[in-house]
Amino acid sequence: MAHDNLIGGAWVRGAHYGINRNPSDPDDMIGEYAQADAAQLSAAVQAAQAAFPAWSTGGVQARADALDRIGAEILARRDELGELLAREEGKTRPEAIAEVTRAGYIFRYFGAQCVRLAGQLLPSVRPGVGVEITREPMGVVGLITPWNFPIAIPAWKIAPALAYGNCVVFKPADLVPASAWALAEIIHRSGIPAGVFNLAMGRGSVMGDALVTHPGIAAISFTGSVDVGRRIAVQCAQHGKKVQLEMGGKNPQVVLDDADLGQAVELCVQSAFFSTGQRCTASSRLIVTDGIHDRFVAAMTERMASLRVGDALAADTQIGPAASAAQQEQDLRYIEIARAEGARLAVGGSRATCHTGSGKPGYFVTPTLFTDTTPAMRINREEVFGPVASVIRVRGYEEALDVANDTAFGLSAGIATASLKHATHFKRHAQAGMVMVNLPTAGVDYHVPFGGRKGSSYGPREQGQYAQEFFTTVKTAYTLA
Ligand code: NAP
């Protein structure tokens, strides 16, 4: 079935169609999805501009009701949407259903936020004058999302954008249009006026520039790689647009001598390998102190041997495939780079076959652990974005903190320890936007700020109340009484 773009409230045929395939079984074709060109993109922006005056002033109850309906439908259909997501992106069915559930809650949360957009009333320094500070929508916002969270990341951009009165042009990752289309179809039927929300599927290399530089776009919210993010930041600066970037990570997980070994192993396995390591918050640098190092490596090796890799939809699969052939190649390339740099391969390190014995040629990679690595190695400096982690041995807490912070990124950082002193110090001194104590670096709540520092992020935080910083602009009004 061919799936069209949504422009001005109508489904519009694309100039071309791309085929969406299942990474667990590339012979399984999920569907054909429209590819917008620059002209269609421009039509989407114009439709959003036309819808903006009424949507932004039409009252918050209509917005709250629409977002609530969208959230309710997503939650009611979580199993079906989760299956679609697992089939197109490759995370396991339970992981995919959890992602869909999160998307539903995000819409419900921002439905409620519609009526909570508070301002401030201050006395003026001039007698008889009052000062009001209020927030207004930005206008038409362009939302660009990556492939690794095909419904949650779109949800955490679209929901606040609409809640605060903006109109949207949404460009999902070309690799995962099915979840985006399903979400758009739900939004379309939610009762929001035509043009308020527009879907423009297709390749970023074809229409990215047209979206980012379009004079009708007031702001761009982007999640994806550092290279594309930086390019977009430059374009936004040149064209005077507000920009928000969430990019890569090389997240550290510190394990101290006094950590509970079983707990530390479990949280490292979860955050390094679950979702095939394809999470910006995945921990890929396991920084382990001398006294626990050997026991930790032995326990990790044993635990990893039991992980079942295979078809995302098969019962009992714990680790799905890489999302694409290109991502699988990247994972294998970094494994070779690590070997060549002198890292010791403890577990994995190759293509895998499906644990069910189906023989399907999915893009499977064995969860891989390197030991005897140094902070300077490329495997510890560059984002792999696959089920690949490395152990860095350190003498004690101070060195662990230094190594954890020795990175160009700063998204999430974790520590496993029984020491309140070290946990407290780490929370204060880890150079990351999110810090986890005795929890995996990946796995966050939907109602609190999400984002990082250094090369991981640029601009205001996403999610929770902090989302209003990006999706609104502040006005200061003076009135003579
Ligand atoms: P990507 O290649 O940068 O693509 C992200 C999005 O940008 C896609 O929709 C892509 O379209 C689009 N794009 C590509 N070129 C563009 C251009 N010139 N102008 C405008 N848009 C353009 O990233 P990805 O491979 O999809 O995602 C993986 C990356 O995302 C990793 O680095 C990961 O760490 C990061 N990530 C970060 C977070 C976070 O919150 N910090 C969360 C998730 C993922 P196409 O699909 O057509 O290429």
pLDDT at 30: 97
pLDDT at 398: 98
Distance 228 CA to ligand 1 centre (A): 7
pLDDT at 120: 96
* Substitution candidate for ligand 1 out of 153, 156, 225, 244 with most atoms within 8 A of CB: 225
pLDDT at 193: 98
Distance 174 CA to ligand 1 centre (A): 10
Q: Is the CB of 169 under 6 A from ligand 1?
A: no
pTM, rounded to two decimals: 0.98
Atom of ligand 1 nearest to the CA of 280: 34
Nearest CA to ligand 1 atom 42: 280
pLDDT at 181: 98
Q: Is the CB of 467 under 6 A from ligand 1?
A: no
**pLDDT (tens digit, 9 = 90+) per residue, 49-93?**
999 999 999 999 999 999 999 999 999 999 999 999 999 999 999
Q: What residues are annotated to the active site?
A: 246
Give the fold, CATH level 3, of 252-437.
Aldehyde Dehydrogenase; Chain A, domain 2 (3.40.309)
Atom of ligand 1 nearest to the CA of 450: 40
* Substitution candidate for ligand 1 out of 20, 89, 144 with most atoms within 8 A of CB: 144
Q: Is the CB of 247 under 6 A from ligand 1?
A: yes
> Which tokens is 153 given?
């990341």
Q: Is the CB of 144 under 6 A from ligand 1?
A: yes
Nearest CA to ligand 1 atom 35: 224
CATH 3.40.605.10 domain extents, the chain: 2-247+456-480
Give the fold, CATH level 3, of 2-247+456-480.
Aldehyde Dehydrogenase; Chain A, domain 1 (3.40.605)
Q: Is the CB of 200 under 6 A from ligand 1?
A: no
Q: Is the CB of 145 under 6 A from ligand 1?
A: yes
Q: Is the CB of 204 under 6 A from ligand 1?
A: yes
Type of residue at 122: L
Enumerate residue ranges in the chain where pLDDT < 50: none
Distance 226 CA to ligand 1 centre (A): 8
Distance 291 CA to ligand 1 centre (A): 40
CATH 3.40.309.10 domain extents, the chain: 252-437
